Amino acid sequence: MNKGFWYAIGAYLTWGMFPVYWKWLEQVPAIQLIGHRIGWSFVMLLGLILVTHQWKKFRTAALTGRVLRIYFVSALLIGANWLIYVWSVNAGYIVEASLGYFINPLFSVLLGVVFLRERLRPLQWLPVGLAAAGVLYLTFVYGSLPWIALSLAFTFGLYGLVKKTAPLGSLYGLTLETGLLFLPALAYLLYVNATGSGAFLHSSPSANWLMVGAGLVTIVPLLMFSSAARQIPLSLVGILQYITPSMQFLLGVLVYREAFSSHQLLGFGIVWLGLIIFWAEGFFAHRAAQPIIAPAD
């Protein structure tokens, strides 16, 4: 296995352990955690760009009207996604949050059909339909839409759609996104600190360091993933991505003891069946498209 494989494994394992990290900070309001995640991520990313003497290149590439407009939208989407996810983890909805990331690949396919006029092979419609059936069944079980899962899939799916037209690489892109959110995040954190409800520097030393570390745990797996994506096939990336929601699901059920009934298992099972069909169809379609190389005489 090359380094790209291990970078991908490291990224997905790190993301898979996120519930543990945020649970360590469950006493801090989610919106404050997101403020720190944005703020410290931007400071660290900007520091990386300055230390590696890339500031002029970054400024030239990022600070144009078109680029700023694209990344303003992507910044709002990823900020909303982070907020919903952190809140859901600390409110005891890890299992439902994991469902959002199981659904996301199929939701992204649907977005490609609607907005990019991509065409699906006939069998690809089956997993999309199964995912919809699973969500409808879970809606019946819950008595309401599983809005956490749908919100996470919606915001991250749209984020991916916007990033398809985005011109910057992952380092510059995340720096610009967090930079656009930095001043509002900083203003909010200063406000809650001034009103006496801020958690930073008013919590235990470990909690303070964990808030600072929110920036590090954001950028490290992203940079590992960026490196991996350039070194391993996209099909392998597609398989490995399910490590993250699988870990989060198991943490929710086995470690944090969230309720998971047989009815929920059936709903999740329908979605999982759709994912298996989706992966298998893509695998065999990719193999069929490979040119047949005749043996040399």
Q: What is the pLDDT of residue 3?
A: 84
* 182 is a domain residue: yes
Q: What is the pLDDT of residue 297?
A: 46
In sign, the C-alpha dihedral spanning 85, 86, 87, 89 is positive
CB–CB of 286/235 below 8 Å?
A: yes
Taking alpha carbons only, the member of 248, 215, 243, 245 closest to residue 8 is 243
Q: Specify the pTM.
A: 0.88
Which helix (H) or strand (E) segment holds residue 210: the answer is: helix 205-231
Lookup: tokens for 31: 């919106």
Q: What is the pLDDT of residue 234?
A: 62
Q: Is 193 exposed, middle or buried (0-12, 13-18, 19+ CB in 10 A)?
A: middle
Query: 27-31, 149-153, 201-205, 282-286: which has the minimum mean pLDDT?
Result: 282-286
CB–CB of 246/39 below 8 Å?
A: no
Examine the pLDDT at 20 and tell me if it is beyond 90. Answer: yes
Examine the pLDDT at 253 and tell me if it is beyond 80. Answer: yes
* 232 is a domain residue: yes
Question: Could you tell me what percentage of the chain is helix, strand and coil, using 3-state DSSP and rounding each to the nearest 5?
Answer: 80, 0, 20
C-alpha span between 193 and 185 (Å, rounded): 12
| Structural domain span for residue 204 | 3-284
- Helix pair 94-115, 243-250: axis angle to 10 deg: 150
- Helix pair 55-62, 30-51: axis angle to 10 deg: 120
Q: What is the pLDDT of residue 89?
A: 96
* 225 is a domain residue: yes
281-293 mean pLDDT: 69
Q: What is the pLDDT of residue 15?
A: 93
Lookup: tokens for 82: 């982070």
CB–CB of 131/274 below 8 Å?
A: yes
282-289 mean pLDDT: 73
Q: How many domains does the chain have?
A: 1
* 296 is a domain residue: no
pLDDT tens per residue across span 116-159: 787 878 888 898 899 889 999 999 888 888 999 999 999 998 99
* 292 is a domain residue: no
Residue with tokens 């008595």: 143
* 295 is a domain residue: no
Which residue did the predictor score with more confidence, 141 or 27? 27
C-alpha span between 68 and 136 (Å, rounded): 38
∠ CA 255-257-262, nearest 5°, is: 120
pLDDT tens per residue across span 70-128: 999 999 999 999 999 999 999 999 999 999 999 988 888 888 888 878 787 888 889 88
pLDDT tens per residue across span 183-236: 999 999 999 999 999 999 999 999 999 999 999 999 999 888 878 877 877 666
In sign, the C-alpha dihedral spanning 212, 213, 214, 215 is positive
* 181 is a domain residue: yes
Q: What is the pLDDT of residue 160?
A: 85
125-136 per-residue burial string, b: 16 or more CB within 10 A, e: under 16: eebbebbbebbe
Lookup: tokens for 222: 């992203």
* 15 is a domain residue: yes
Q: What is the pLDDT of residue 115?
A: 84
pLDDT tens per residue across span 42-74: 999 999 999 999 999 999 999 999 999 999 999
